Every structure is written in structure tokens, then in C-alpha cells.
Structure 1
Amino acid sequence: MAEPEPVEVNRATLLAGLPHGFLGRRGGVSTGIVSGLNVGLGTGDEPAAVAENR
């Protein structure tokens, strides 16, 4: 099995100095249409995959 990609966290320069981050889709264990770093419980993804992504 291939190593998962690192989690992609984007930060906004306008929010510098404030704790924040926006997750991208890179990384994670979800497959199919929700492949990547899916953290949504309402997407039809396997709950175990969502839990591991979180």
C-alpha cells in the first residue's frame, strides 16, 4: 500500500495572527467520489474512513 499524501492545510494571509486553517483534499484515506481527506459525515463515505481522516 502506498503512503498517504500529507494533509494539505491552506492558510489565508489576511488572517495572519489568528489561529485558522482550511483543509484541502490531499491526504486522507477516503476513496471513490470522496477520495482524499473527506471529513464530512453526510457524504455517504464509510464512517471509519471519516473518523481516520479527522
Structure 2
Amino acid sequence: MRADPTAASVATVDGIDTPAGRIATVLTLQKALSAPGGAFGASGADGPLPLG
């Protein structure tokens, strides 16, 4: 999905089967209200958690 050009408007989180991944999911949903896109989690290109 990350290779697709439309992925810039979709946020992804990997590792949601871990406690850290679940936290990243909640923070990513919160961030998605103000800024679309991002790749978060253990292997996320934008870091483990959305900052700011």
C-alpha cells in the first residue's frame, strides 16, 4: 500500500497486535483529524508514533 501514490492520504500503522501498536493506532486516528497520511509503528517510515 505504501508504494501506491494515493497512500499519501491514508495513515497506516503496523504492529497493532502489540500494546505499543495499539497506542500508535489511537494517536494516528487523532492525528488524522488534522493531517492525512503517515506510516507509523515499529517499521513506520514516519516513526513509531505520530508526533505533534
Considering the TM-score relative to the shorter chain, is it more than 0.5?
A: no
Structure having the larger proportion of residues in strand: 2
Higher relative contact order (CA 8 A, sep 6+): 2
Larger radius of gyration: 1
Structure having the larger proportion of residues in helix: 2
